[in-house]
Amino acid sequence: MTEGADAEAGAAWDLRDDLDEVDVEAATGFPGEPDGFQRLWTPHRMVYIGGQDKPKDSGIAECPFCDSPSKSDAEGLIVARGEEVYAVLNLYPYNPGHLLICPYRHVADYTDLTETETTELARFTQKAMRVIRAVSSPHGFNLGMNQGGVAGAGIAAHLHQHVVPRWGGDANFLPIVAQTKALPQVHADVQAALSKEWNR
């Protein structure tokens, strides 16, 4: 063994002596091999993945979109109320300001909306875009409805239109690689800002 190797071995034994006095976490549960990835833990998303708050069937009693209007605006995350429809923050947003335009009536299919519901839903969608532009200056929007579970509707029993603000670069590696979305604002702040602008 060379002199340098002897010195390294001695330093390693000194380090072990120091570690005996330190409370060290067990390696159980950690990745077996270092993989170079940083991890942003988002345990709150397990609520969504596990299906909490989703209706267990198509009944009104289980529907969060039927329940939300009975709450205060702040508690229900409601931004605006109309005669036939209301605007509410998505509880699991793609981006800050992601709104859902929902009819009060428990109806699943777009073709089942009345003429007045259809008209107000369209007007609320336009107003939502104007409000979000005034509050947070997005570069664009995704608008759409997922009709049926097979089409991606998380709550298929109660129709809702998505109004998703988009910014250049908002689809970074986190959602693509890690199925995680970093959101810089809490719901209460977004709800307050959008409601204030909506009522100007």
The verdict on whether 139 is a catalytic residue reads: no
Apex 165 CA angle, 65 and 160, nearest 5 = 20
Active-site choice (44, 98, 139, 160): 160
Cβ neighbours of 196 (radius 10 Å) = 12
Measure the CA–CA gap between 90 and 96, rounded to whole angstroms: 9
Beta-sheet pairing, 85-89 with 78-81 = antiparallel
DSSP 8-state code for residue 14: H
CA distances from 60 to 41, 91, 101, 103, 174 (A): 34, 19, 18, 13, 35
Phi, psi of 25 (to 5 degrees): -70, 145
DSSP string of 176-187, one letter each residue: IIIS----SS-H
Task: Give buried/exposed letters for 122-160 (b at 16+ CB in 10 A, else e).
Answer: eebbebbbebbeebbebeebeeebbeeeeeebebbbbbb
Q: Could you give the residue numbers annotated as active site?
A: 160
